[in-house]
Amino acid sequence: MNADLEHTTSTSYSPLPDADNHRHPSSSIRRRPITLLSGIFLSMLFFSSLIALILNQHNQPHQHDSRNKESSYAKPVSRGPQQGVSEKSNIELASSDVEDTYPWTNAMLSWQRTGFHFQPPKNWMNDPNGPLYHMGWYHLFYQYNPDAAVWGNITWGHAISEDLINWFHLPFAMVPDQWYDINGVWTGSATILPDGRIIMLYTGDTNEEVQVQNLAYPANLSDPLLLDWIKYPGNPVLVPPPGIGTKDFRDPTTAWLGPNGKWRVALGSKVNKTGITLVYETTDFTSYELLENLMHAVPGTGMWECVDFYPVSTTESNGLDTSVNGPGIKHVLKSSLDDDKHDYYALGTYDPISSKWTPDDPELDVGIGLRLDYGKYYASKTFYDQNTQRRLLWGWIGETDSEAADILKGWSSVQTIPREVVFDKKTGTNVLQWPIKEVEKLRSKVTVYQKVVLEPGSLVPLDVGLATQLDIIATFEIDKEAVKTSVEADVGYNCTTSGGASSRGAFGPFGLVVLADEKLTEQTPIYFYIAKGSDGVAQTHFCADQSKSSRAPDVTKLIYGSSVPVLHEENFSMRLLVDHSIVESFGQGGRTVITSRVYPTKAIYSAAKVFLFNNATGVTVTANVNVWNMDSAHMDYFPFLNLER
């Protein structure tokens, strides 16, 4: 047994007494007055903010002059850890040497809002919760602050879609109105039972700031919109067990059936510095038994939150229901690490008898190996889409600008385009993530470039029209024999410490530059870099360089990336979804994925450009590129419902 687990501190929690005034189930009758009051308050807040903004603009110089007047920079305020969840502020700016706030104009801030990624009309959003498909509609619930563009007062937002691209906003699904969730209706997951009933388990933060698990269910299953949700009168159904801290017990998974016919649910936690996954068994989702064995534990990884657990087929291309197990099946175990704010996963084998999961490669275990996304990406959650037999993945993409800028623009965070997840049969060591095919419905004009020869040091502009909403697929060919016969080059190369796309090597970087102005004073390169070690083995890296993405000083501008397997018969390939301030990059069919948030000040609207480039010194690259301009998705309040606008 790990030393961390041997020296646990026993803690326990006694729930509050069953007083009648604490046990009213939430229903539409109770929620709508709250929603109405929220609407009134938000309307007042909106109009007061609008008046303040008008007055502020009246006193500001014209846009081209405003950049000369920078104000004192306010360091970020920590939000979340004191309440027992991960940091929700861009705390990286706190440790930087930023001293000034960039004078953002309305035009700049308006440009940042995405055209085809999901986001609520305003305010703060974080984790995707309980995604499911019901009666012709996809449902997305999400962590939402109805009052401001910063984290707090966490409520469950709710939206529906027929195609996962175009969305209608619905009333809040759940609000923090009971003692067991009064400090936040936090992350949860949906389970659809064989008889069609929907079970929603979620973490609540109690009036004493203790993390407990609660049960909710639709008031009317025949309602395709699932407008009304009832909180189980006997909540909470789970409290922290002995040995688990009261702030280290959260985020229940979708349930799966064990071999004994009982349902199992996993939760994330930690013991000292060991990240762990607890498993509970239940027959009715109201009473539970903690299984003796931990599903898995990895020393040194800290608190595990937003745990996800699901099967993938090693032989078929379709997704699988969470309860499927047997031959030709591997299980993905994923955790969001509170310590470094990244989502890690590993492939392994699940033994349903012992309820233990074992990684295929201990060196690529959860928290120390593969990541779902090497950029700005966290708190992801999958669900099985029984409508199309796909395993679909959502991820929260936070902001990397300043909180002051978020407040000024009135919103914070987006969700990724949903990704289909399958096992990579070619490598056998990773999953593949790929944007759902429905996003291709937004493609409009296509521009094709074939066999573009890029000599060392080349930069080629691509005339694609308005370059702020794009879907780009590009392949690159190089003389692999030249790489094979060369001596070692760039031993120990690493995207994040490399110096970015301007650092030249024999076999890289080469790729695309997006959201660049004509003079490249602002640019976001996405590229491959081939490094060859002293052992003669070439390793390909897939990187995204944000170091020159914006002239604004109060923006985090990191270089993201990791190695990516490129098999012998494969060319180098990438797909980019560019949508204003977000770029999702998929290397080699989705083996390595990087999400970037960028905030240019010049490379916006018609000034945004796209380039091909080859900054390698020792190899010529031939590129083939298809670029589609993308229409915007439709996002609005659902018609016939009296919702705020």
How far is Cα of residue 100 from the mean position of the Cα atoms in its chain? Answer: 29
Residue 164 CA: distances (Å) to CA of 31, 187, 207, 440, 441? 27, 20, 36, 12, 11
Cα–Cα dist 419/584, whole Å: 11
Cα–Cα dist 435/119, whole Å: 17
- Which residues in 129-148 are b (16+ Cβ under 10 Å) and which e? bbbbbbeebbbbbbbbbbeb
Going by C-beta distance under 8 Å and a sequence separation of 6 or more, which residues neighbour residue 137? 160, 161, 162, 224, 225
- Joined tokens for residue 57: 């603009």
Cβ neighbours of 582 (radius 10 Å) = 24
H-helix or E-strand containing 586?
strand 582-587
User: What are the two backbone dihedrals, phi and then psi, of residue 363, each rounded to the nearest 5 degrees?
Assistant: -75, -15
Q: Where are the beta strands (DSSP E) in 325-463?
A: 329-337, 342-351, 356-359, 378-385, 390-397, 411-412, 414-415, 419-423, 431-435, 443-454, 458-462
- Which residues in 547-563 are b (16+ Cβ under 10 Å) and which e? ebbbbbbbbbbbbbbbb
Cα–Cα dist 420/413, whole Å: 21
- Joined tokens for residue 632: 């915007």
- Is residue 490 flagged as an active site residue? no
Beta bridge partners of 559: 545
Q: For 227-241, give the DSSP string.
A: --EEE-TT--SB-PP
Catalytic residue, from 18, 20, 100, 127: name it: 127
Residues annotated as catalytic are 127
